[in-house]
Structure 1
Amino acid sequence: MNITPFFNMGLFGEPAFILGLIALVGLIIQRQAFPKVISGTVKTMLGYSLIQVGGMAAGTALSNLSAIIQRGFQVIGIIPHNETIVALAQINYGTEIAWIMLIGMILHLAIARFTSIKYIFLTGHHILFMASMLGSLLANYFLESWKVFIIGGIILALSMSFSPVLAQRYVKKVTGTNQVALGHFNSIGYFLSGLVAQMVRSKDKKEMPKFVEKIQPYFQEQIVVIAVFTFILFLVSGLFVSPEGMKEMFSGHHFIIVSAIQAIWFTAGVFIILAGVRMLVAEIIPAFQGIAEKIVPQSIPALDSPILFPYAPIAAVFGFLFSFLGGLIAMSVLLTIQYTTIIPGVIPHFFSGGAAGVIAYKVGGRRGLVIASILHGFFITIVPIYLVPLLANLGYIRATFADSDFAILGLIVHWLIECWQFIWNAF
């Protein structure tokens, strides 16, 4: 029996099995009861499968939206949406992604244990997102599998360790403590938001006008916000396609009906993906955190962006709105200069824009909130355009990674590999 195919295509060739194994080991180390060990392992593998199923549904809706935009505006529309592209990346590079996650988490704990960088990155879905981006990117260079695993794991570990450092000065300003950090791969966007807000900050510190509290309840249900905004995107895009063209594309259905059904189809896909991510993360991260507490005493947890929302809820809502406005401005600019354009995604502007808005308001008041949030939205909409060609091996999927760190890190990794290959070939 050849041992290599046995490991590559058998034991460790299935990413769901690898991720389940991570949860299994973590739960055993924590001495959990046998039923909990079995439950956690099965739920981890099931969560992975749900991500793939939801990705197919959401990807179909995004493909239809892109087709409408291309026909109406004669451009290619790409939406930054982490969950969708990760689900599609899992289909092509699931093994690489799982190994990168495993190696990255181990090395991340080692960095926290033996250096002064004590942040423990606990936002599991963003670990999955970054591992997916790295796996898809590195596989594009035809490296041997073990090299993809190791290089990707090292880069993931470094990004998990140093991403919280970049935004921490502003997180401390918001929370008033150094006991918590942001574990969210939009650290460059948060840093720029805080920096801009600091430069343009208001002299007064007046609170938000009272009337803005009335609109806050409309943004409490994330999945409803996604459905409504996606429906608006389909509806507006459909207005620029002739009725005959819409009927030809969608078997004679009216464009309003098409917009509603496609928006719900996309939202259903996102809901399944989020359920899968929650199920996957709910089992792996507690095991990871339990190990981290034993290995790294006095560590600082780096958590997801919504931890900032309670410190300025109204600013979070307006951060989302102004960030989305900045995304629309960026889309307009892209439309004038090239054939491929980025359509602002609701999810990245909701979470990243909301957190950026809280930072901007706490640092720069109302003026800082408005200016920094718009620039933040412009920035996170522009930078993904440079990542799209680097992921050409995934095919024309009409989606890309959202949030600033994915694109910036992807460009840095691409540049380093290109330089290394040039030097290697030269000598």
Structure 2
Amino acid sequence: MSFLSGLLEFIKDVLSQPALLIGIMSFIGLIALKSPGHKVLTGTLGPILGYIMLSAGADFIVANLNPLGALIEKGFHIQGVVPNNEAIVASAQKILGVETMSILLLGLVLNLVIARFTKYKYIFLTGHHSFFMACLLSAVLSTSGMSGTLLIVVGGFLLGAWSAISPAIGQKYTLKVTDGDEVAMGHFGSLGYYLAAWVGKRVGKPEDSTEKINIPEKWNFLRNTTISTALTMIVFYIIAAFAAGPEFTSTLSDGMSPYLFAVMTGLKFAIGVTIVYSGVRMILADLIPAFQGIATKIIPNAIPAVDCAVFFTYAQTAVIIGFVCSFIGGVIGMLILGVGGGVLIIPGLVAHFFCGATAGIYGNATGGRKGAIIGSFVNGLALSFLPALLLPVLGNLGFANTTFGDADFAILGILLGKAGPMGIYVIVAILVLVLLIPNFIKTKSVALNNYED
């Protein structure tokens, strides 16, 4: 391997690690602020360690959700397609690895260029979601007939543009979630979250927040998020274990008593959520102050767009409500698809936890309890119908046994897949106009939409 190819491989590896991306951004910001060496060190390591902690918690959650999915499929006799971003990306890399990585690199660079020279000041820091989107774009564009340099340039532009535009679309909602903290949504389930916030605004009142639910003193322990999450998930696991039966549950429990396994897995899930919360606090404690250096010195008024789990600490009761209601929406969506003769989209518990919880948070920010419940339920329906509509677009490449799970992937994939080559050029032209026109219009904030109603 030559030095150049080895260097490119190293850069690719760095850019695919969101923890390092966040750390690099913090480092640049602190250097721009001329912070002393010890603050640069701690301010860089803090977000990196926080994101690794967040990822460890997320991995722990996923590991303990997978048995629940298997129990539900067995216990309720469900067969179909389970949307899973990681699974489809793993399959696609065997065919489109070079295209995916080229689109990723170009997209990340263009996101920074767009943030510097337009009013879309949002820097997308969730590297693994950028990677997933690059994979989707390479698959859909190649299906439309594009290849080589043209595919990479169009795909890179689409990734860079959407990385800047998607946080801006719902930033007014995000500011309500964070109570004005200067962060944005950097996750490609964003359209589902904004939909939940839009629904929430129309069905409820933000002052009736899930975080203000009156709980009698004897039930006050439920305000401890770890305990309330554990109790909720234990009920889920025990019901699923009873439905699947002790014989099947034993195949997952590695020799442990089936129902004890259900209880312990529910408890472990709650610990995973708590680890995520701790990681989020570490990220925000150092990232937001450090990012002021980028926002003032390098890319004026830049705003970090971060992973959806970062928002979990803002409304912890809404996290559980959102997950449960989104999952219920996913089950109902699956039944509707089954009755209508469509592809059966089995609710993926990982997608419904992370996306459903975030939809609950956004629905709560605009519509309180009703917003959290109905907004996340609508998100759950979308997580059934959208992947079903996306499947035909990806089927030509042999991905029909799985599909992408989150809203932005599905909506962009469907639009591009149905548009055809000429339609894709029209979409690119529209995005160019969307990026440029605000520069010639007076807006309420320098960073587009960075204000509350």
Work out the CA distance in 1 between the residues paired with 2:378 and 2:423.
Answer: 34
Task: Report 1:197-212 matches (<5 A).
Answer: 197-202=200-205, 205-206=207-208, 208-211=212-215
Task: Report 1:143-182 matches (<5 A).
Answer: 143-177=146-180, 179-182=182-185
Tell me, which stretches of 5 or more residues in structure 1 are unaligned? 1-5, 34-39, 45-50, 248-253, 264-287
Render the CA deviation track for 1:320-354: whole Å, top value 9, x for unaligned.
Answer: 21111111111121221235333233x22222222
Aligned to 1:102: 105
Distance apart, 1:410 and its partner CA: 0.7
User: Residue 385 and residue 9 in structure 1: after superposition, are their counterparts in 2 closer, same or farther (change >3 A)?
Assistant: farther
Distance apart, 1:84 and its partner CA: 3.0
Render the CA deviation track for 1:122-156: whole Å, top value 9, x for unaligned.
Answer: 12222122112212222333422222211110110
Conserved? CA contact 1:89–1:132, under 8 Å: yes
Render the CA deviation track for 1:171-198: whole Å, top value 9, x for unaligned.
Answer: 1222232622111112211221111111
TM-score w.r.t. structure 2 length? 0.64
Distance apart, 1:233 and its partner CA: 9.6
TM-score w.r.t. structure 1 length? 0.67
User: Residue 290 and residue 389 in structure 1: after superposition, are their counterparts in 2 closer, same or farther (change >3 A)?
Assistant: farther
Work out the CA distance in 1 between the residues paired with 2:221 and 2:94.
Answer: 40
Task: Report 1:74-223 matches (<5 A).
Answer: 76-177=79-180, 179-202=182-205, 205-206=207-208, 208-211=212-215, 220=226
Work out the CA distance in 1 between the residues paired with 2:334 and 2:421.
Answer: 29
**Structure 2: which amino acid aligns with 1:324?**
F
Question: Is the aligned partner of 1:415 residue 2:418?
Answer: yes
Task: Report 1:224-263 matches (<5 A).
Answer: none
User: Residue 331 and residue 127 in structure 1: after superposition, are their counterparts in 2 closer, same or farther (change >3 A)?
Assistant: same
Q: Secondary structure at the match of 2:80?
A: strand
User: Residue 218 and residue 89 in structure 1: after superposition, are their counterparts in 2 closer, same or farther (change >3 A)?
Assistant: farther
Work out the CA distance in 1 between the residues paired with 2:139 and 2:293.
Answer: 30
Conserved? CA contact 1:7–1:13, under 8 Å: no
Length, aligned pairs only: 398
User: Residue 73 and residue 162 in structure 1: after superposition, are their counterparts in 2 closer, same or farther (change >3 A)?
Assistant: same
Task: Report 1:367-378 matches (<5 A).
Answer: 367-378=370-381
Q: Secondary structure at the match of 1:298?
A: coil
**Structure 1: which amino acid aligns with 2:347?**
I
Determine which of 403, 406, 425 is the counterpart of 1:403: 406
Conserved? CA contact 2:345–2:384, under 8 Å: no
Distance apart, 1:12 and its partner CA: 6.5
Question: Is the aligned partner of 1:341 residue 2:370?
Answer: no
Conserved? CA contact 2:103–2:153, under 8 Å: yes
Q: Secondary structure at the match of 1:77?
A: coil
Q: Secondary structure at the match of 2:305?
A: strand
User: Residue 83 and residue 174 in structure 1: after superposition, are their counterparts in 2 closer, same or farther (change >3 A)?
Assistant: same
Work out the CA distance in 2 between the residues paired with 1:372 and 1:332.
Answer: 19
User: Residue 13 and residue 295 in structure 1: after superposition, are their counterparts in 2 closer, same or farther (change >3 A)?
Assistant: same
Q: Secondary structure at the match of 1:185?
A: coil
CA RMSD of aligned residues (A): 5.6
Conserved? CA contact 1:328–1:344, under 8 Å: no
User: Residue 378 and residue 19 in structure 1: after superposition, are their counterparts in 2 closer, same or farther (change >3 A)?
Assistant: closer
Distance apart, 1:259 and its partner CA: 10
Aligned to 1:315: 318
Work out the CA distance in 2 between the residues paired with 1:122 and 1:237.
Answer: 37
Work out the CA distance in 1 between the residues paired with 2:90 and 2:118.
Answer: 34
Distance apart, 1:394 and its partner CA: 4.1
Aligned to 2:440: none
Q: Secondary structure at the match of 2:120?
A: coil
Conserved? CA contact 2:351–2:405, under 8 Å: yes
Aligned to 2:438: none
Conserved? CA contact 2:328–2:380, under 8 Å: yes
User: Residue 217 and residue 316 in structure 1: after superposition, are their counterparts in 2 closer, same or farther (change >3 A)?
Assistant: same
Question: Is the aligned partner of 1:356 residue 2:359?
Answer: yes
Distance apart, 1:293 and its partner CA: 7.6
User: Residue 217 and residue 88 in structure 1: after superposition, are their counterparts in 2 closer, same or farther (change >3 A)?
Assistant: farther
Render the CA deviation track for 1:374-412: whole Å, top value 9, x for unaligned.
Answer: 1121122221111122222143443x2122111001111
Render the CA deviation track for 1:68-91: whole Å, top value 9, x for unaligned.
Answer: 999998875122222333333334
Q: Secondary structure at the match of 2:418?
A: helix
Conserved? CA contact 1:69–1:77, under 8 Å: no
Q: Secondary structure at the match of 1:116?
A: coil
Aligned to 1:379: 382
Distance apart, 1:295 and its partner CA: 3.9
89-98 or 374-383, which moves further after superposition?
89-98
**Structure 1: which amino acid aligns with 2:377?**
I
Conserved? CA contact 2:204–2:366, under 8 Å: yes
User: Residue 236 and residue 385 in structure 1: after superposition, are their counterparts in 2 closer, same or farther (change >3 A)?
Assistant: farther
User: Residue 67 and residue 349 in structure 1: after superposition, are their counterparts in 2 closer, same or farther (change >3 A)?
Assistant: closer
Conserved? CA contact 1:334–1:342, under 8 Å: no
Render the CA deviation track for 1:273-332: whole Å, top value 9, x for unaligned.
Answer: xxxxxxxxxxxxxxx999888641221111122333222211222112111111111112
Aligned to 2:254: none
User: Residue 420 and residue 175 in structure 1: after superposition, are their counterparts in 2 closer, same or farther (change >3 A)?
Assistant: closer
Conserved? CA contact 1:342–1:385, under 8 Å: no
Aligned to 2:304: 301
Task: Report 1:9-48 matches (<5 A).
Answer: none
